[in-house]
């Protein structure tokens, strides 16, 4: 598909224009702030604030996770680019209600650099900031090198849990601890079949052979485990889940995933991959978890962490405990993810 076949206006203004549209999607509950931030209007005084953010082009994340019982605001970059420090700072000032701000975002070098500078600018204004990085992509580095891991679709359940925790958190310490736990208990593996296109040029975000599938490939086409022959849903699904379970097993910071554990299981489409395919993979994944005695507490499925019209899928597993379950059960609403109170099958 050519660049002309995208329903846009000026290809260089898509990040700004989609943010305007995002504000309209919230229909008065959120506002545009400064250059390119989106902020909830009703953040209570004294609330510990939760700020997310990242590059545009991956909608409905990252900025679509602002909402009810979710993030208080988001700093938004240009297409596939980290938000600059001044945008991070404007968002930080806007969400701060005197109890400090937790930054919770995917671990990419540009984002880390810019959010860190934003935190320094905030410190100059006596706003306390903590940072929890999301590094759920187990194919991007071994468990001993989490600082080199990318954040992918696991960020949705992580932000959901942190957003719920932020509603009642007594301190920034408390919210930071819960967010860290959610990150530690969340692991993802993705695959890709075909690239998305860069809105400004129409060029593909990466190349892949017609008969290959990129196992562990990142959402921008970053290398993973390697290309494997294209295969069936039933063959691929256990391969991907094995990598997630192996990671829980090999990481000294976390217990192995074992019989009786309860998880949120998330099947994410990277864009053009259909719900049909997501559901067919979910069917196989449920068999896999049943065989291992791992209990699915709730399911998420759909295109939430995308890269334009990229074809691909990812699985994310979040292990819940007695602290995280009630946070999961809290209702939430946003452009990216909404749920009623409770959980399916409860």
Provide the edge-to-edge strand list for the sheet that holds 311-320.
Answer: 226-229, 212-215, 186-194, 311-320, 262-269, 295-302
**Does the active-site annotation cover 58?**
yes
Q: Does 178 bind a copy of itself (CB under 8 A)?
A: no
Six token digits for residue 67: 């909402």
Nearer to a copy of itself, 245 or 282 (CB): 282
DSSP 61: T
Options 86, 116, 262, 309; binder of a copy of itself; rule CB under 8 A: 309
Candidates 112-120, 165-173, 216-224, 231-239; binding stretch for a copy of itself (CB under 8 A) = 231-239
Q: Does 116 bind a copy of itself (CB under 8 A)?
A: no
State which of positions 23-42 bind a copy of itself (CB under 8 A).
24-29
State which of positions 232-291 bind a copy of itself (CB under 8 A).
232-234, 236, 271-283, 285-286
> Residue 207 CB: number of other CB atoms within 10 A?
9
Contacts of 310 (CB under 8 A, 6+ apart): 192, 194, 195, 196, 205, 219, 270, 271, 272
Nearer to a copy of itself, 63 or 99 (CB): 63
**Does the active-site annotation cover 343?**
no
The least distance separating a copy of itself from the CB of residue 214, rounded to whole angstroms, comes to 12
State which of positions 190-219 bind a copy of itself (CB under 8 A).
193-194, 196, 199, 210-211
> Residue 116 CB: number of other CB atoms within 10 A?
14
Options 177, 184, 302, 325; binder of a copy of itself; rule CB under 8 A: 302
241 vs 245: CA distance, rounded Å: 6
> Residue 235 CB: number of other CB atoms within 10 A?
12
Which one is catalytic: 31, 97, 180, 220? 220
Contacts of 326 (CB under 8 A, 6+ apart): none
Active site residues: 58, 220
């Amino acid at each position: 598909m050519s660049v002309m076949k995208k329903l846009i206006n000026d290809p260089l203004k898509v990040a700004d224009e989609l943010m305007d549209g995002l504000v309209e999607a919230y229909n008065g509950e959120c506002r545009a702030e400064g250059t390119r931030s989106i902020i909830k209007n009703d953040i209570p005084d004294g609330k510990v604030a939760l700020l997310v953010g990242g590059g545009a082009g991956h909608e409905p994340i990252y900025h679509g996770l602002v909402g009810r019982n979710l993030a208080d605001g988001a700093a938004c970059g240009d297409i596939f680019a980290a938000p600059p420090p001044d945008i991070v700072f404007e968002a930080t000032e806007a969400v701060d209600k005197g109890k400090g701000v937790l930054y919770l975002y995917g671990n990419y070098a540009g984002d880390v650099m810019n959010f860190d500078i934003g935190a320094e600018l905030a410190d100059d204004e006596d706003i306390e900031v903590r940072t929890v990085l999301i590094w759920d992509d187990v194919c991007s580095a071994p468990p001993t090198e989490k600082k080199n891991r990318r954040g992918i679709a696991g960020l949705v359940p992580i932000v959901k849990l942190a957003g719920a925790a932020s509603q009642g958190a007594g301190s920034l310490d408390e919210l930071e601890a819960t967010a860290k736990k959610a990150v530690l208990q969340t692991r993802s593996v993705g695959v890709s079949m075909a690239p998305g296109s860069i809105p400004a040029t129409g060029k593909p975000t990466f190349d892949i052979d017609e008969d290959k599938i990129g196992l562990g490939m990142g959402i921008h086409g970053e290398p993973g485990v390697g290309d494997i022959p294209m295969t069936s849903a039933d063959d691929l699904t256990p391969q991907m889940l094995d990598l997630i379970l192996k990671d829980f097993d090999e990481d000294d910071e976390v217990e192995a995933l074992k019989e009786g554990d309860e998880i949120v299981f998330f099947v994410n489409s990277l864009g053009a991959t259909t719900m049909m395919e997501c559901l067919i993979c979910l069917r196989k994944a449920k068999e896999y978890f049943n065989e291992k005695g791992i209990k699915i507490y709730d399911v998420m499925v759909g295109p939430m962490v995308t890269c334009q019209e990229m074809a691909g899928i990812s699985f994310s597993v979040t292990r819940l405990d007695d602290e995280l379950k009630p946070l999961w059960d809290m209702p939430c609403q946003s452009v990216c993810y909404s749920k009623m109170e409770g959980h399916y099958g409860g």
